[in-house]
Amino acid sequence: MKKFLLVLSTTEQSNEVVGYALSLAKDKDAALFVLFILDSNVPATIFEKLTNIGFIGDKPGSELKEAISNEYADQAHQFLNDIKEEADTKGVSCKTFIEQGDFTDKALAAIARFAADMIILNRSRKSVFSRLLIGSKIDRLLRKAPCEIKIFEGD
């Protein structure tokens, strides 16, 4: 059986990419692994950039960073629960996981761990400001992934 890996993150997720991945897995009779990466670089990068441009004062408090990280984790758990329910309804074998760390490193490790035949990614249309703040982690993964990659271009 083929194995597909859908990689989502705090900045790259959508219901459309989930529908695409579920349909593709069903059509190809593949198992679907869904990894939600709580990208540890995102909050730090956002705070650093906003501080540097003077949008917020000196270094923000650790409580604010922790609150944002906790909110991302809660949203990830709920999103994965919804995906699992939808997969069960459609008869797609699906396992979900949450990890925290660098997007590229975690995605590459998951490809190896699950022996994924294909990785499915969502690339949302971002503003120049957003790309400046966060960068393009998908571009970094494209250069390093050892398997086929499908990129779903969403809003």
Q: Tens of pLDDT along 15-38? A: 899 999 999 999 999 999 999 998
Collect all residues with Cβ–Cβ distance below 8 Å to 36 and sequence separation of at least 6: 8, 9, 13, 76, 79, 80, 96, 97, 98, 99
Residues of the chain with pLDDT under 50: 127, 129, 133-135
Backbone angles phi, psi at 63, to 5 degrees: -65, -40
Q: Which of 66, 41, 46 is CA-nearest to residue 56? A: 46
The overall pTM is greater than 0.85: no
pLDDT at position 49 is 64
Q: Which CATH superfamily is domain 2-136+149-154 in?
A: HUPs (3.40.50.620)
